[in-house]
């Protein structure tokens, strides 16, 4: 919740090109891999479909983590190589093997990088919850009015928007004001 400057809020908004956060169970990628292998088989040996390995691998890295993405990055070029040699009876030259290996390695490296980017984005989202701008706070009880107009205790308001927890005590001034008969405030 922010009550601050709209221009500042717009500048800090999530970029339009960044994928939304979320998670997919890794088994989804088994089905997606099956579909991609079927498309690879249907299109035949002459197509450049393997160039599109990067798209599903990137999505797997973002939504399921590094291991599903690496598995996808290794499986798809390997199956394509098996199609070339076994089904399409293309001559199994060293150049084909080298190209497939390099393609798989590059896509796997990209998967690891994209998975790390996803982890970083999730950590930022989890840790960065900033209260900024003007907060409507009661001058007497220090309750804060939230976006729906309800008044909540300061501690509740902050706890709901962060991982902060509160421990209560007395400052020396309040100790003297409310408990003068007990003398000086205890340390801490």
Q: What pLDDT score does 1 carry?
A: 45
Burial level of 85, CB count in 10 A (0-12/13-18/19+)? middle
Asked if pLDDT for residue 24 goes beyond 70, the answer is yes
Q: Is the pLDDT of residue 2 over 50?
A: no
- When pLDDT is averaged across residues 28-50 and rounded to a whole number, the result is 82
Average pLDDT of 61-90?
87
- Indicate left, alpha or beta for 137 from its phi (over 0: left) and psi (-120 to 50: alpha): beta
* Cα 91 to Cα 72: distance, rounded to the nearest angstrom: 25
* CB 118, CB 61: distance < 8 Å: yes
Tell me what the mean pLDDT of segment 20-26 comes to: 84
Residue 64 has pLDDT above 90, yes or no: yes
Q: Which of 138, 164, 165, 168 is nearest to 153 (CA)?
A: 138
Tens of pLDDT, residue by residue over 161-184, are 877 888 888 888 888 888 888 877
pLDDT single digits (tens) 101-129? 888 888 899 999 999 999 998 888 776 65
Report the range of poorest mean pLDDT among 31-35, 95-99, 163-167. 95-99
Q: What is the pLDDT of residue 12?
A: 56
């Amino acid at each position: 919740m922010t009550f601050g400057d709209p221009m500042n809020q717009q500048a800090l908004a999530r970029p339009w090109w960044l994928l939304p956060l979320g998670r997919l169970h890794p088994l989804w990628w088994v089905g997606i891999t099956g579909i991609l292998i079927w498309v690879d088989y249907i299109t035949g040996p002459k197509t450049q479909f393997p160039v599109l390995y990067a798209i599903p691998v990137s999505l797997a890295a973002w939504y399921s983590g590094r291991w599903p993405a690496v598995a996808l990055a290794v499986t798809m070029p390997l199956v394509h190589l098996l199609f070339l040699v076994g089904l399409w009876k293309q001559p199994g030259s060293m150049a084909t093997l080298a190209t497939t290996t390099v393609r798989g390695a590059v896509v796997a490296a990209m998967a690891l990088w994209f998975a790390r980017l996803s982890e970083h984005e999730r950590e930022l989202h989890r840790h960065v919850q900033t209260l900024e701008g003007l907060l409507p706070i009661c001058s007497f009880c220090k309750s804060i009015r939230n976006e729906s107009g309800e008044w909540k205790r300061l501690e509740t308001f902050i706890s709901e928007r962060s991982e902060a927890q509160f421990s209560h005590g007395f400052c020396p001034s309040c100790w003297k004001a409310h408990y003068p008969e007990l003398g000086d405030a205890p340390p801490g």
